[in-house]
Amino acid sequence: MEHLLVLCRHGESEWNKLNLFTGWRDPDLSEKGVVEAHAAGRKLKALGLVFDHAYTSALVRAQHTLQIILGELGQVGLPETRDQALNERDYGDLSGLNKDEARVKWGEEQVHIWRRSFDVPPPGGESLKDTAARVLPYFDRLIWPDVVAGKRILISAHGNSLRALIMKLDNLTGDQIVKRELATGAPLIYRFDDTGAVIERKDLVG
């Protein structure tokens, strides 16, 4: 029985391009992001991968990325589940601000702490620890049982919601996961044995 899970961060969004804190705001993909999503789909197709179910967030950039990937795979219409549990980290009062403007307003050190600490949230927002607290129970309740049952699962989501999953799957600490960079539109493939242990991990960057 195959136990396959593929994670993919959405392609570049219009706000990524503008260097804005995005969080739960809902811009679509940029032109570059569309290209990245097509490339992700072609990479998965080249490996002969097909899926039984897809999960994505309530945000359009992740949903659009998923639809492009499924188009490349010839799997348009694949059953999918959308849920805000997989949304990006909520950046609160930083949302919509240019990252340089935020540094001017709050200071470079404070903004760095908000961006790169595990458990310090920005004002009105979530830390990565908070994000994990909603992502992981959802994963454990709905997604992981599918993987264990032999369904081939694709998740199209966001840098920080996927970091929460990677922290769990790779047994990383909070300090380790905040240093982990995730490229836009780059699939990450996991295969598991029947006990749920990771037996293969392949990062399709570049």
Q: Which of 3, 10, 64, 158 is catalytic?
A: 10
| 186 within 8 A of 205, measured Cβ to Cβ | yes
Any catalytic annotation for residue 72?
no
Rg for the chain (alpha carbons), in Å? 17
**Sheet (strand 198-203) strand order:** 80-82, 53-56, 153-157, 4-9, 188-192, 198-203
Any catalytic annotation for residue 38?
no
The candidate with the shortest Cα–Cα distance to 136, out of 169, 97, 93, 106, is 169
Name the one residue in this structure whose structure tokens are 């601000």. Answer: 97
CB-based burial, 14-47: b 16+ in 10 Å, e otherwise: bbbeeebbbbbbebbbbebbbebbbbbbebbeee
Q: Which of 36, 72, 88, 126 is catalytic?
A: 88
Query: Could you give the residue numbers annotated as active site?
Result: 10, 88
